[in-house]
Structure 1
Amino acid sequence: MEVILGLSQMSTSAFLLVSGFFGLLGFMVGVIFHNRQSRVSTLIKEAKMRAVQVKELEKNNAELEKATSALSAKEFELTNANRRLRELENAKSKFVSVTAHQLRTPLAGLKWTFNLLQTGQLGPISTEQKEFVDKGLLSVQKMIKIVNDLLNVNLVEEGDPSIFHFESVDLKTLAEEVKAEFFSQAKSKNISLSIQTPTGFLPPVVADRGKIKMVLENLLDNAIKYTPADGQISVVIDDKKLNTAGASLEISVRDSGIGIVEADKPKIFQKFFRSSQAVSVEPDGSGLGLFIVRDIIERHGGSIWFDSEPGQGTSFFFTLPLRRK
């Protein structure tokens, strides 16, 4: 009986054990199935999102290809437009050059004739006639300067280095020559014109003498033109940069003229630019002088700048290295 009872209890225990095992197994299977179902659901969502992203990417690629194609077409148009502009610019430069050359000969003839009349070599003239001759000669000289500016700006824009002929230049001697050239023009307005140089030896610079003379002529011509009667103009040669790296001389042309207003200062070296003050004082002019001057100085390895106050005058400064870089 006890044996039967024992077996019965063992059977009950075994049944409970088995039931617990299968219950646990069922729970674990449920958990695993739930996790797998959740993972599958997540994967499906991710796949849908990626499908949407792929469509967006394909749409963006199509739009990018369209934009790239349009940009290429625009680039082609711009290239052709730039080519046509260059051709027009070259044609304009050639026309200006040819026209200017053609004008030089008759203008030189007119200047020679006016000089003969002015000096009385063609016979005596009255005071009234001399006034007309003086005005005519002045107009011819202005025209010659404009023609020369047009020719020089063409040379500048071509960028041909062969137009520069470098040699050893004594700046003091050159400044004295230019002063003598403008002495009568300054005297007619009772303007004091002076040259200031350091005492002692002044080393020469390696430069194109003709081009540097042109720079001084342009700056002095502007200074006299825009300085009222009884004013002062000085050409100053400074050796303070001789002992610095890249030894150079600093030259300045200083006047007590009308000055330059603040709004015009950034444009003062632009081609064809003339300030409103300059036009009011001197209507004639090409607006090329300072453009040419800056190019000449920069192609010598120097730099140019200015300091100016309206009604107080203007000082243009430029440097010239002792040796070519």
Structure 2
Amino acid sequence: MAELAVEASSAPRAIVIADSDQDRLKLSSAALSAAGFTIHPASDAASLAGQMARHRPAVVVMDSALAGGHAAEGVPVLLLVNLADEFDLGAVDNWGDADYILNPPRPEELVHRVETLIGRARERHRIRSGAEALRESLRKVSAAIRSTNDPQQIADLVVSGFGGALDADRVWFATFRDERVPRIRSQWNRRGLAQLPARLGSHEDALTEMANRLWGEADVLTVANHGDVPTSPISMLLGAWAGPLSPRSSVLVPVGEGESALGVILIATADEPREWTRTEISLIQHVAGNVAHGLIQGHLISAQQQVLQQLRQLDKAKTDFLATVNHELRTPLTSITAYLDMIREGAGGPVPEGIQRMVEVISRNSDRLRRLIEDMLTVSKQEGTGSLNLKRVDIGQVLQIVVATLRPLADTRDVEITFNESAEDIKINADEAQLEQVFTNIVANAIKFTPDGGQIGITSEPSAADDGRPAVLVQVADTGVGIPEQEIPQVFTRFYRASNASSAAVPGSGLGLAIAQDIVRRHTGHLELHSKLGRGTTVSVQLPVGGP
């Protein structure tokens, strides 16, 4: 970039001539002055440096005797070589634009060499400026590609971007049959030109094979003039596919990821041959890499959005189903329960002992069905964040109510329940009804999965949350059947039941722990479960004293 700046700001006809021989200096200055150049002479290294700093010439003509302190960085140099002096001409190769001529030079040869150096410098500057402009244009194309996840938009951006930046006539892009990306076609044409065929048809397999070969070799296929190679595979393929629209020159660029190409970009001129430069090819490949990444990422995001939409639809259908089932089941169950109460009260006459036992079985199963409906209704209501009716709640009192409610159920199984309350009176901000449901579900589970004669221990004590805030820790430990280790992560999933519970025909909906965990989370607490198969389970609930 420093060299470009020097060339761009140099005086186009200014020459610094440095020669320690005054006669040769005068002859060289006269020859170049007659050719229309402005001459700035120097006779030693110091004056050479001064002239360079003041005038920034287009070319430096330098006596080899003064070249040891070469200070013409970025400026073309014509070295005047003295045969009597020792000088390593190989060093000239490291000076960039440089040439040498015997000293003293013939006037016409001196002028010719200087003009040639100026022309080379201008052409080099033109090429570099063009490369910088192309690099900036394609940088904008890459930035636009990275700004979207829409695969079709990415394709449209790359064809229009390549067409404008590379001054092409046609750009055509297509993806192959590949699960990583959707099927895409896009093309750009210079105004007035007909479009290439949208589909590859029977030629797709041949083009896919060609693109995969290029991708494996990390290469592109360039043809400066298809008229020179009419029987080459690419010329014949493009001719068969595009017919009269077959390009005159082209670049075939594979777009790929991993071990195979997923698409191809064709950049072409319609009528004129064209040599494709190394800089152009390098930049095209860089953008093609961004295209591949963008297409794959966009396709994944699109697929995820579709799955998310389907999940939302399924979730809504599930919620609607639960609400409908709750309503449809609750009405007949209410009727069944009412008639059972009337039978027990003797409204239909005395109930024989055998019938009484049947009525008790019906009553127990009605209660099971009622609890299932209530659990399902709770799940339906808790979609989203839900609302909490917060107030100061005595955690020990809640646990005492739960134990008193479930003790008759435990007694039928000869399961002992003990409650060791903290000596401290612990009160927290919570929804009392929902908190009672949490511990009812946990203790009821413990009773169901503890064999006859087992034990359940309940404790509550002060604790500290992870952030240091005061909390209460409640633990329910049983001596029940336990849960297989590999199934523990699934027990909080709705409707999931452990395999040993299913095989033992232990009744339940698989909703109890899921509901408990949801309520605890909405109280900004934590619920954890530890279990050993055949040795029992411990459920720990930590709740902040200050509430959510």
Paired AA for residue 419 in structure 2:
I
Q: CA deviation at 1:53?
A: 5.4
Distance 1:234 1:66, change over 3 A: closer
**Which residue does 1:18 correspond to in 2?**
none
Q: Give the match for residue 94 of structure 1.
A: 320
In structure 1, distance between residues paired with 2:407 and 2:458: 13
Amino acid at match of 1:186: A
Shift of 1:120: 5.0
**TM-score, structure 2 normalization:** 0.48
Instruction: Give 2:359's match in structure 1, choosing from 114, 133, 153.
Output: 133
Alpha carbons 2:422, 2:460 under 8 Å: kept? yes
Q: Does 1:151 align with 2:393?
A: no
The 8 Å contact of residues 225 and 282 in structure 1, kept in 2 or not, is answered as no
Give the C-alpha shift of residue 99 in structure 1: 1.9
- 1:297 paired residue among 520, 523, 542: 520
Within 5 Å, which residues of 2 pair with 1:25-174? 25-26=82-83, 31-32=88-89, 35-36=92-93, 51-52=277-278, 54-65=280-291, 68-69=294-295, 71-118=297-344, 120=346, 122-160=348-386, 162=387, 164-174=388-398
Distance 1:27 1:126, change over 3 A: farther
TM score, norm. by length of structure 1: 0.78
Change (3 A) 1:29 1:210: same
SS at match of 1:314: strand
Which residue, 183, 192, 209 being the options, matches 2:416?
192
Matched, 1:313 2:539: no
User: How far did residue 54 of structure 1 move?
Assistant: 3.8
Q: Which residue of 2 aligns with 1:224?
A: 447
Counterpart residue type for residue 422 of structure 2: P
Bigger fraction of residues in strand: 2
Shift in Å, 1:98: 2.5
Q: Is the 8 A contact 2:449 2:506 kept in 1?
A: no
Q: Say if 2:486 is the partner of 1:263.
A: yes
Structure having the higher helix fraction is 1
Q: Distance between the aligned counterparts of 2:280 and 2:346, measured in 1? A: 95
Tell me the number of residue pairs that the alignment of Structure 1 and Structure 2 aligns.
294
The Cα RMSD (Å) is 3.2
Distance 1:319 1:308 in 2: 18
Q: Which amino acid aligns with 2:383?
A: E
Q: What do the CA deviations read for 1:65-111 (whole angstroms, capped 9, x no partner)?
A: 25524643553354244223312311221221222133223223323
AA aligned to 2:389 is H
Change (3 A) 1:57 1:159: same
The answer to whether the 8 A contact 2:389-2:430 is kept is yes
Report the CA distance between 1:208 and its aligned residue: 0.4
Relative to structure 1, the CA distance from residue 235 to residue 105 in structure 2 (aligned partners, 3 Å threshold; closer, same or farther) is: farther
- Residue 251 (str. 1) matches residue 474 (str. 2): yes
Q: Can you give the 5+ residue segments of structure 1 that lack an aligned partner in the other structure?
A: 1-23
1:166-191 CA-partner distances (Å, limit 9, x unpaired): 11112222222222221221111111
Q: Structure 2: how far apart are the matches of 1:285 and 1:214?
A: 15
Deviations 1:254-293 (A, max 9, x none): 2111112211122222222211112123454221211111
User: Which residue type is aligned with residue 492 of structure 2?
Assistant: F
Distance 1:55 1:117 in 2: 92
- Give 1:63 shift: 5.0
Q: Once the 2 structures are TM-superposed, how far is the Cα of residue 304 of structure 1 from its aligned partner?
A: 1.3
In 1, distance between residues paired with 2:364 and 2:492? 26
Give runs of aligned pairs for residues 172-211 of structure 1, distance below 5 A: 172-199=396-423, 201-211=424-434
Q: Provide the residue aligned with 2:162 in structure 1.
A: none
Q: 8 Å contact 2:526–2:542 — kept in the other structure?
A: yes
| Cα contact 1:226–1:281 (8 A) shared by 2 | no
The one-letter code of the counterpart of 2:354 is: E
SS at match of 1:245: coil
Q: Distance in 1 between matches of 2:499 and 2:300?
A: 39
Which letter does structure 2 place at the counterpart of 1:204? K
With over 3 angstroms needed to count, the CA separation of the structure-2 counterparts of 1:75 and 1:309, relative to structure 1, is closer
Question: Structure 2 CA distance, aligned partners of 1:210 and 1:192?
Answer: 25
User: How far is the alpha carbon of 1:229 from its aligned partner?
Assistant: 1.0
Whether the 8 Å CA contact 1:219–1:253 is kept in 2: the answer is yes
Query: CA–CA distance in 2 between the matches of 1:95 and 1:175?
Result: 34
Say if 1:236 and 1:119 are closer, same or farther in 2 by CA, change over 3 A: farther
Secondary structure at the counterpart of residue 158 of structure 1 = coil
Cα drift, residue 198 of structure 1 = 2.5
8 Å Cα contact 2:462/2:470 also seen in 1: no
Residues of 1 paired with 2:292 and 2:439: CA distance?
Answer: 58
For residues 27-61 of structure 1, the C-alpha deviation after alignment (integer angstroms, 9 at most, x for no partner) is 659854884499679x99xx9xx943541431342
Residue 277, structure 1, aligned to residue 500, structure 2: yes
**Contact kept in structure 1, 2:340 and 2:363, CA below 8 Å:** yes
Q: CA 1:81/1:258 → structure 2, altered by over 3 Å: closer, same or farther?
A: closer
